[in-house]
Structure 1
Amino acid sequence: MSLDDLQDDVQGEYSDLDEVLSVDTDRETRNELAMLLAALDTDDPDELVRRGIHMLFQSAVETGNLDFHLRSEYDVTYDEYLLGATMDTYNDGGVGSGVGPDDPDDRRYQF
């Protein structure tokens, strides 16, 4: 698979989310969610689910777990996805943006 395949899959998954997203919870998950709702003083479980997804995504990026899975499935990294080209293409001069992984003006997804 390739960068184009990854971009197509991300766009497809994004458009399907509103139609298919429903989360069933088990007892442990409900207990943990109830604890977080009480501790974080909110009545909106959906907000905690959003926060949880953000935390999981950040953790996967920071630990390299996301890159491992992307490399295994699509043969690209998250940086390459953000750049819109593989590093091979970039290093071969195929990307004319002038912005690269070592460029201080790089507008990567930052935490």
Structure 2
Amino acid sequence: MSLEDLNDEVQESYTEFDDELAVSLDRETRNELALLETALEPAETDELVRRAIHMLFQTTVDTGTLDFHLRSGFDVTYDEYLTGMTFDEMTGADQYPSMDDERRYQF
């Protein structure tokens, strides 16, 4: 897969999300959410879910987990996704033909 494939899949996922997302909760998650809501007193429970998504995203970026999965599935990193260019495109490495080792030093 490639950077273009990643962009296409992100766009597809983004358009599938509505402003509201129904999520089923198991017992443990429901208990944790209830405790967080009681302790943090957000305006709405939705705010806690938004914060949780932000924290999970930041953690996966900081630990390299996101890059690992992107490299495994799409052969790009998060930085490459953000710039819209692969590392080879940024450095110009994809502009030159491959070297022929047998003829490299012949004139």
Q: Distance in 1 between matches of 2:19 and 2:50?
A: 17
Q: CA RMSD in A?
A: 1.7
Q: How many residues align?
A: 94
Higher relative contact order (Cα pairs below 8 Å, separated by 6+ residues):
2
TM-score using structure 2 length: 0.82
Name which one, 1 or 2, has greater alpha-carbon Rg. 2
Where structure 1 has 5 or more consecutive residues not aligned to the other structure, the ranges are 95-111
Q: 1:69 deviation in Å?
A: 0.2
Once the two structures are superposed, what CA deviation does each residue of 1:2-24 show, in whole Å capped at 9, x if it has no partner? 00000011011001011883100
Matching residue of 2:46? 46
- What is the CA-CA distance between 1:43 and the residue it aligns to? 4.6
Q: TM-score, normalised by structure 1?
A: 0.79
2:101 corresponds to: none
Q: Which 4+ runs in 1 deviate beyond 2 A?
A: none
Deviations 1:45-81 (A, max 9, x none): 1110000000000000000000000000000000000
Q: Distance in 1 between matches of 2:8 and 2:54?
A: 22
Gaps of 5+ in 2: 95-107
Residues 1:36 and 1:19: Cα distance change in structure 2 (over 3 Å): closer
